[in-house]
Each structure stands twice: as C-alpha cells, then as structure tokens.
Structure 1
Amino acid sequence: MRRPRSAVWLALRRNPVFYVAGLLVAVLIVMAAAPGLFTDADPSRCRLGLSREGPAEGAPFGYNLQGCDLYARTVYGARASVVVGVCATAAVVLLGGMIGMTAGYFGGWVDAVLSRVTDVFFGVPLLLGALVVLVAFPSGAAASPWETTAKVVLALAVLGWTTAARIMRAAVIQVKNTDYVNAALSLGSGHGRILTRHVLPNAVAPVLAWATIAVGTFIAVEATLSFVGIGLQPPVISWGTEISDAQAYVRQSPHMLVFPSAFLSVTVLAFVMLGDAVRTAMDPRERRA
C-alpha cells in the first residue's frame, strides 16, 4: 500500500500538465529573482526619441511610451507581479488557515462567530474591495517601491483570506473526528499539540492546492489594480502599468500591449494549471480514475 505522499507524487509524475506548468513557473520565478540573466538592458534607461518604436535589433519587443526597452521592462516586471502574488497568497493562507482551523476544531459558538465574520468578508468582491481600500489609503509621494508593494499585498490579504478559511474549516472538521485525534484527546494531549501534530498536517493539503491557483489570481488582480492606476505605482515596474500606458495606443503601437499582456496571461495560466494538477493529484477519486 502506497503512502499518501507517494501516491500524490506518482499522480503528478503521470500528468504532463504538471511538467509544463512547473517549467513555466520555475522560469518565471528565476526571471523574478534574477532578471539580469535574461537581459542586460537597463529598464529605467529611456530615450524619448524612440517612443513607441516597434521591435528592432537590440530591442526585440520594441519601446514603450517613454522610449524604454519594452523587453527589459517586461522581464523586470515579473518581479513585482510574482512578489505580490506569492506574498499575498502566503498571507491569506496563514490568516485564513488559522481562522478556519480554529473554527473547525473548536466548533460551537467559536465556529458560529468566525463563520459569520468569514461570510461578511466573503460577500465583498476582492477586486472591488481592494480598489476601495487602496483609494481610501493612498500612498504618499515619498513612498518607496516596497511600501507601495506592501500596501497592495496587505489589501489583497485583508480581503482574500475567506476561501482559505472555508477550505481549512471543512478539512479540519473531517480530520478532528478521526480515530487518531480521539486517541490523542483520550491520552490527555493538549489542544495545541493536537492541532500542530495531528490536525494541521492532515488538513493543510487542500489549502495548499488552492494556494497554487490563488497565486495566479492575485497576480491578475494586481495587474488590474495597476492598470486602473490604483495598484503599483512608478517607479515600480509592473505588467499592469505597462498595459495601462499602452491602452491609448493599441492601434498605432500594438506591441506595447501584446508583449506585457502575453507574459501576464502565461503567468496566470501557468499557476492555474499547476494548481489544478496538484489538486487532481491530491484527490483520491481522481487518482483512482
């Protein structure tokens, strides 16, 4: 009989989507961590005389509105998008996971209160709620790029934790009724030990599968917020800001829109495909099929 982790890994290895998505995600992470490996051009060096020029030698993606190398801007734009997506996902998994685990394990009035709070936040659309928060608390003119990025991450985390909480709550309710949890309780183990040693390791898998997909979702939301001028602000280089600059020149200079949009679409698709492959591998019903 295979151990659950071995069965999951075997299912992943049999899925070609896992390899394609994993390769794309790995390339994007390397691009975000070390953009200098992909281009030696300075994304901040702009020449207005080359404004909106098309692809040419030394600039395969052409130039943007300010005359900056669009290929370099696109490569460096991966950093902001990936950082926002990963950090926002980590924050919602921690916050939502703790709330969902507490509600599912203790039940009763604790579950009732936390579930109603979750329902209130769940009723607020993520994009609309983040837009309202960012407008209500704008960044100052002296704000650093990291402060602007942190504010976007915080806005997404405050409003995006509800799904993680619901998934964790359902998983914990299922796990807490198992024999090994009841045995630990009968032996006098404290709630903290039971949660960390028995409940959390066996309930966290569905949340992690969802989190992989959530990274792509948060990247798309960040790009949308930056597109409307509310999210990341210059000098932060972002795919959303590049797409926003290109919207008025789609007919005259379509390359300004095509390349950042393509990278954004591929990134979101890669994380969604990877998350779907992980979810399928973790589902015993899917593995039997």
Structure 2
Amino acid sequence: MSDTTQKTDTVVEDLTGPSAPAPAPQKQDKTRSLAQDAFRDLIRLPMFLISAALILGILVIAAFPSLFTSVDPLACDLSHSMEGPSGSAWFGYNFQGCDVYSQTIHGTRNSVIVGVLTTVFSLVIGGLVGVLGGYFGKWTDALLSFVTNVFFGLPLLLAAIVILNNFRDEKGMRNAGVMAVVLTLTVVGWMSMARVMRGAVMQVKQADYVAAARSLGASTTRMMFRHVLPNSITPLIVVATISLGAVIGAEATLSFLGIGIRPPAISWGVMISEAQGRISQGLHPLLFPSGMLTITVLAFIMLGDAVRDAFDPKLR
C-alpha cells in the first residue's frame, strides 16, 4: 500500500515539478468610476479631440497674443485703408488702415474673458441656487424657483441692452467695459444653470447612498458637498460648456449693436460692427473676425456635446 502511494506521489511530482509554487492570485482591476469611464471615452472621440485642440489654441492666443503678431492693433495708417490681404498684412487692413490680423488676434482676449468669466459667475450663482432649492425643497425651493422664474421672464438681449445703456464713461458717453458686460450677462444668464442643477440635485438626493449617509448621521454640509454636489455637477458642467460659446456670441451681438464693448477696446464684436457698414468696399475686415467667432462658438458647442455624450448613462 505504501509502495503504491509512493509511486503516485512520484508521478504527481514528475507532472508538476518538485517544488512547483502555487499560482499567485491575480489582482482584480479596480472598478472604474463614471468619471474615469467617461474620460476614457472622451479621449477616443474625434469630436472631443478636435474641439479641445481648437479651444486650447484659442486660449493660447488670448493669453499670449504677442506670440502670434508683433503689430500694434491700434497703429493705423489711412494710406492702407481697405487694402486686401498681402504678405505684410495677412488679413488686409480695415477702413481706418488698421491691421485686421493683429486686431483679430488681440480681440480674442476680450471675447474669451467675457465668455469665461460670465460662465464661471453664472455657474456659481446658478449652481448655488439649484443646490439649495433642490436639496431643501419646500418653501426654500418655492422662493428660489419664484426668483428664477422672474429672471426667466426677462428677454436676455433686451434686458442686457437696458442695463448696459446706463453705463457711461468719464465724458458721459455710453460705454460699457469688459466687466460691465460680464456682470450684465451674468445677471440675465444664470437661470438655466439653476434649473439644471435643481433637477439633478432632486434626483440625486433620492439615491440609496444619500439615504444611507443620512441614516448614519451625516451633517447637512457633509451631505451636500460630499454626496449630493459631486454626483449632480456633471449636467451643470455640460450646460456651462455649451453656454460659454453662446455667451461669446452674445457679447459680439451687444458690441455689434454698439451697447457692449466699445472702441478703442478691441473684440470680435467691435470689429464686426465697424466692418459691416463697408461690405461693398471689401469683405475681409468682416470675414476674418466673423470666422474666428464662428469657430470659437462651434468649438465650445462641440465640446459640450462630446462631454454630454460621455457622461450620459443612457448613452453608455
């Protein structure tokens, strides 16, 4: 009996080796979060890569215009009035003899500043109103919803024109600076973000993990900033990304109407406003700032659509 057992052990040892180590347990991959999965999908989307590259280029131009042109945008020579594109002036000259390329590059800064600051301020105000109304509900939600509806009743452009029409410079002339335009567009543009945030918070606060945290005695502040806000901020970011392009377009519209930023400050809207009355003399002073404005607005809309598709669970 012992000989049979010894032979069996010898056969097993020959098959497995005299000191074959036990296979090491494989490490299981950590479960990825929704944000990690969304980012992984984003970097595979051509629409996201193209829009992100365009936006990055626009931000670099806005931050460092001197890297792209050394020509003073306010150095004008009437002898070059309405000259077309050439080697010395890639976009030609406007009716005042100013370099259109230089003005387009330097005008990027004011247009982008208005869009970014307005979007950030609207995101903060709208996000705060939406979180408070959606989380606390009852009379708090009723009051904040009433205030939001009152502002929703104001036509955006009409309200902005009325507000900006009251800004005057030291000479008493109607002139609104960059911050005046930012604050005005914020006042008339935060409501949609409040609505989006309110709906997201009302949905998230019904989740099981929020109820579990509440039953464990988590404070209201911890509940809002640790559980509710991080899980409801995604729709707000998507709306803010799309709105940023719309805000840049709104600033251009106000400047075109002569209500927003005024010369000698430079923005794409100011350039379009100055060029539209002389289309018969040449299209180039109107074409290039309009093209930059269109590309910028389209890039932010494409980015917002890509982020929305990546973070929407229904599309995954």
Q: TM-score, normalised by structure 1?
A: 0.95
Determine the structure 2 residue equivalent to 1:102. Answer: 132
1:125-204 superposed matches below 5 A: 125-135=155-165, 137-141=166-170, 148-204=177-233
Determine the structure 1 residue equivalent to 2:118. Answer: 88
1:194-233 superposed matches below 5 A: 194-233=223-262
* Range 27-36 or range 196-205, more displaced: 196-205
Matched, 1:5 2:5: no
Return the alpha-carbon distance in structure 1 between the equivalents of residues 297 and 33 of structure 2: 32
The one-letter code of the counterpart of 2:271 is E
SS in 2 for 1:251: helix
SS in 2 for 1:160: coil
The alpha-carbon distance between structure 1 residues 280 and 142, as it changes in their structure 2 partners (threshold 3 A), is farther
Determine the structure 1 residue equivalent to 2:66. Answer: 36
The one-letter code of the counterpart of 2:229 is L
**Structure 2 counterpart of 1:48, from 68, 78, 84:** 78
SS in 1 for 2:170: coil
Q: Unaligned stretches of 5+ in structure 1?
A: none
Q: Which has the higher helix share?
A: 1
Higher-Rg structure is 2
Number of residue pairs aligned between Structure 1 and Structure 2: 284
Determine the structure 2 residue equivalent to 1:246. Answer: 275
- Alpha-carbon distance, 1:228 to partner: 0.6
Determine the structure 2 residue equivalent to 1:122. Answer: 152
**Structure 1 counterpart of 2:307, from 278, 281, 284:** 278
Give CA-to-partner distance per residue, 1:21-55, whole Å, 9 cap, x none.
00000000000000111111111111111111111
CA RMSD of aligned residues (A): 1.5
1:42-81 superposed matches below 5 A: 42-81=72-111
Matched, 1:267 2:296: yes
Give CA-to-partner distance per residue, 1:190-238, whole Å, 9 cap, x none.
2122111111111111100111111100000000000011001122110
Q: TM-score, normalised by structure 2?
A: 0.87
8 Å Cα contact 1:139/1:148 also seen in 2: no
Return the alpha-carbon distance in structure 1 between the equivalents of residues 69 and 127 of structure 2: 39
- Alpha-carbon distance, 1:142 to partner: 6.5
Return the alpha-carbon distance in structure 2 between the equivalents of residues 271 and 141 of structure 1: 36
